[in-house]
Amino acid sequence: MLKIVILRLIYLIFYLLVIIARKFSKDEIENSEISKIFIRFNNSIVLKRCKNIPVNRVSILLPHCIQNYECPLKVTSKIENCKECGKCKVGDIIGLQKKYGVKAKIATGGTLARKFLKETKPKLVIAIACERDLVSGIYDAFPMSVYGVFNKKVNGPCFNTDLSIEEIESVLKKLR
């Protein structure tokens, strides 16, 4: 119990630092560095807490901007609607589902993300998102174990973003 209280306090301090940096810093890099430190700290704690979790109790939560913008298929309702054409990483996530037995969901926002987590009740969530959404999502989900992975904004924010399949798979392998 005391451990949870101390961790909550540390998370609150980090979260406040991120908010202060966003508010007063004109340099986006400074904000980014604080977010990266918070995510590294969080991920190290999560990996220690989740060492013996069965992989089939892991859920992967993805932002809708991972899907190719021009794709006519609706994968937010069901990720398996993807035809795995290779124009985005959704097909690779389906591959991880098949290989490891994890559940994956593409959410268009926090409400859908919370609904998915409430339904699946995972022991560990691997969440992929932009810095702002990832930091606030991890903070909001505490004490749930959420491992954070920044998405890559290769075409700008919220448009055809990318992710590291290798980083996600690395986390899954550590649970074995």
Burial of 7: CB neighbours in 10 Å, binned 0-12, 13-18, 19+: middle
Rounded Cα distance between 93 and 87, Å, is 13
pTM over 0.75: yes
Please say if the pLDDT value at position 101 is more than 60.
Answer: yes
Q: In terms of DSSP H, where are the helices of the chain?
A: 2-24, 28-49, 90-100, 110-120, 131-141, 165-174
| All residues at 6 or more sequence positions from 21 whose CB lies less than 8 Å from its CB, including other chains | 30, 31, 34
Cis peptide before 143 (omega within 30 of 0): yes
123-160 pLDDT, tens digit each:
999 999 998 899 989 988 988 999 999 999 888 888 99
User: pLDDT at position 26, please?
Assistant: 64
Residue 14: its pLDDT value, please?
85
Q: What percent of the chain has a predicted confidence (pLDDT) above 90? A: 62
Give the model's confidence band at 30: pLDDT under 50 very low, under 70 low, under 90 confident, else very high: very low
In whole angstroms, what separates CA 76 from the centre of its chain?
Answer: 16
What tens digit of pLDDT does each residue of 64-99 get?
Answer: 999 999 999 999 989 999 999 999 999 999 999 999
Alpha-carbon span 96 to 119, nearest angstrom? 20
